[in-house]
Amino acid sequence: MSEQEPMDARARAEASLAAFFAEDGLADRDPAFSATVVEAIARRRFRASLLELAGVAALTGLVLWALWQAAAPDVAAIASGAGPAALAAVVLASLYVGLKPLFQRA
């Protein structure tokens, strides 16, 4: 056996593989890879949005806590005077402002 014979077998195997792949052709895009990349991007955007909204909520809570002593009499007057209508308006406005970013397209 000469050293040439294994090279010929390797060359034949490579030629056979090249012919096999040439018949089938490679896909332009891999759907599984694309889905994984899109999912990773969506998760990153979700985390960024979640952190932003958590920061806004924490800052709002901190401001309300700091101003509560000054605002408590006004809140009590509004609640006793206008009652449920004012409370409903505040809740609806808060929900609108708070949830609006979740439904906007990026």
Q: What is the pLDDT of residues 21-62, one digit of tens each?
A: 776 665 667 888 889 999 999 999 999 999 999 999 999 999
The boundaries of the domain holding residue 34 are 4-103
Look at 36 and 14; give whichever has higher pLDDT. Answer: 36
Supply the pTM of this predicted model: 0.43
What is the number of alpha carbons within 13 Å of residue 81 lying toward its C-beta?
A: 6
Among 87, 63, 59, which Cα is nearest to 75's? 87
Q: Which residue has the tokens 């096999």?
A: 20
* Number of domain units in the chain: 1
- The residue-averaged pLDDT of 57-75 equals 88
Q: So what's the pLDDT on residue 61? A: 93
Q: In the structure, what pLDDT confidence band is assigned to residue 12 with cuts at 50, 70 and 90?
A: confident
Cα dihedral 5, 9, 14, 18 sign: positive
Longest distance between any two alpha carbons in the chain, whole Å:
105
pLDDT higher than threshold 60 for residue 102: yes
